[in-house]
Each structure stands twice: as C-alpha cells, then as structure tokens.
Amino acid sequence: MLQVQNVGKIYEVPVRESGLKGAISSFIKREKKEVSAVSDLSFEIQNGEIVGFIGPNGAGKSTTLKMLSGILHPTKGEVNVLGYKPHQRQHDYLKKIALIRGSKPLFAPADLTALDALHMQRIIYDINYKEFTGYLHKIVDWLQIEPYYNKPLRTLSLGERMRCGLACSLVYNPEVLFLDEPTIGLDSDAQQRIRHFLKEYNRETNATILLTSHYMEDVTQLCKRVMVIDKGRLRFDGDMNHMVDQLTPFKLIVFTLEKSSVLPADLSELVIEAQDGKYTIRVLNQHVPSVTARLLSDYSILDLTVEHPPFDQTIQQLYKTEVV
C-alpha cells in the first residue's frame, strides 16, 4: 500500500552575517547551507492500517507527509503509494488520497457555503452525481454537518470548519488519508467527534490512515502502531504497548482507601500523588502483582486500577533512549 525506502529531503537555506556588512555581502553573493529535514527514512504501511506518526516540532513529520502526498519531491530515495510515485502528481493518484491539515482544513473560497464547497469538490474530482449524492449522505451523517449547509464558510467556527474540511476531503472516497494535526485548536468535544469519525471511516472503507498529532489522545485512541521521528530519523516503529514496556519499567497503581486506612512506610515511599484518600503509586513491573495482591488483602480498597504512565512521558523518554 505505502512504501518509503531510504528517503531524504534536504533544503537549501540562505545564510548571512548580521548587520550592514552582512546585508551588503549577501546582496553581492548569497551564501547558502544545506539543512536536512528528513534523513534515510524507510517504512511500510499496509492496507487499512491507522498509524501514528509522532515527534517534536521540526522532526520532519510534515515534510514526510508532503512527500507522500506529492507536494514535495524527495531529494533521495523512493516513495511508492498505491503503485504511484507521488511527486509525479498523476490525476488518478490525487483522486485516491487526501492530505488534511488541521491548521488549514478548507481550501474553498470563504464566501461559499458548505454545500457549495462539497459540490465544488464533486466537479473538481469528476464524481458521478448519483454516486456523489449517495456517499454525501453518509459523510454528512457521520460528521453531522447538515446544519452548516447554507452557512458561508467564513462564519463557521474552527471545529465546524474542520468537519466541513473532512467532508470535502473525503466525499470522493480516498483510499489513503494523510492527517496533519487534524484536531489542533479544537475543544475536547470536537476532538472526540473527529476521532470517532476517523474510526468509523476506517472501519467502513478500510482506508489507510497516517496520522501526525501533538495530542497524544489522538494517537492512543486511534493507533495500535506508532512511528516516532526525531531530527529527521525514524527512532521507533512498532506496537505502542511494546514501546511503553521498553521505555517505562514501571506501572502506576491508582487506588482509593477508606478514610480509616493508613499506608505503611514502605508503600508511602512509592506515592507520587495523594488526594482525599486516592493514591497513585509507582511500582516496578515485576512487583505489580504482589503489591496489588497485598493492597487488596490487607486494606479496605474502594477502587483500584493499574495503568501505564502517561504516553507523552514515554515519548519524552524515547528522545533520550535508543529503542530496539
């Protein structure tokens, strides 16, 4: 479905000294230096997968998505999506993919209504009217955008524009979605709605989705597999739980005691948070069964859960550690 082999992207950027001397020197002869945005990147994604593609700002995520969607030409290496070379921007290829950016979800003129924008997509992508109408009803129902049909796009909120942007990008039924921060700036309710929609779209169409996001909830709720990129290089590619187990040799036991109960000194030393009888303790993985059994047998426990540490903490640890 999607193959990336030894791909790199290098930009040439101008450099000059500060001050008047630097400005004059740059005017006469402009100096440039090469900056590597992506280095020797290789991975494969199978049909129907939802893969999280994460990393810090400047890691190369957006550059990679632009190469996969055909906006940028790789400096080296090979990219193959659905049997096409994206940088050739063949019409048939562009009808099978969608690049959706949360920072700019809509590319239609702002004075168009949402329904006008959807019909504009039908014309651009040369979609049969009958097929368009049938699929439009499903998309509209999933995203619940019918109330915005007759509103100009410029009057919509960010969350409403994001949903309309998704509808416009998906109304031609693409097989591959490249999602660049699809929930950025949205409130928690709007974020959850977008996540639910993406799950449904993947389940109904078996579309392949590559998702980049700084919101770890997007990744943990949608993706079983994650790829982590840092400084243009792939640092990890595999099962999310495997990465967590590799990087965090402990779990969090969260429990609530009856008010009369008091923790002994050895367990008190493990507490990282306590409030109103609710405790969170950090325990090495191999000790979790024995500590859990002790708590349940020796104390009046009202509630108890065993949790992984927050995923964003795991990612931060990854940038400091090599993972196999």
Give pLDDT tens digits for 115-169: 898 889 889 888 888 888 888 888 888 888 888 888 888 898 888 888 888 888 8
Give 271-292 pLDDT, tens digit per residue: 988 888 889 998 988 899 999 9
Query: What are phi and psi for residue 119, nearest 5 degrees?
Result: -70, -30
Residues 179 and 292 reside in one and the same domain: no
Residues 225 and 272 reside in one and the same domain: no
- pLDDT of 183: 86
Across the chain, mean pLDDT equals: 85
Residues 165 and 269 reside in one and the same domain: no
Residues 149 and 61 reside in one and the same domain: yes
- Number of domains within the chain: 2
The verdict on residue 255 lying in a domain is yes
Say whether pLDDT at 27 is over 60: yes
The verdict on residue 166 lying in a domain is yes
**Residue % of the chain over a pLDDT of 90:** 29
The verdict on residue 109 lying in a domain is yes
Residues 94 and 119 reside in one and the same domain: yes
Expressed as residue numbers, the domain containing 268 is 249-307
3-state secondary structure of 237: strand
The verdict on residue 40 lying in a domain is no
Single out the residue in 228, 244, 260 at which a domain terminates. Answer: 244
- Write the CATH number for 273: 3.30.70
- pLDDT of 324: 43
The verdict on residue 185 lying in a domain is yes
Relative to beta strand 31-45, strand 225-230 is unpaired
- pLDDT of 191: 86
Residues 107 and 209 reside in one and the same domain: yes
Residues 74 and 200 reside in one and the same domain: yes
The verdict on residue 147 lying in a domain is yes
pTM (two decimals):
0.77
- Write the CATH number for 231: 3.40.50.300
Strand order in the sheet with 2-15: 31-45, 2-15, 76-81
Say whether pLDDT at 321 is over 70: no
- CA distance linking residue 134 with residue 139, whole number of Å: 9
Residues 185 and 60 reside in one and the same domain: yes
CA dihedral 191, 192, 194, 196 (to 10 degrees): 170
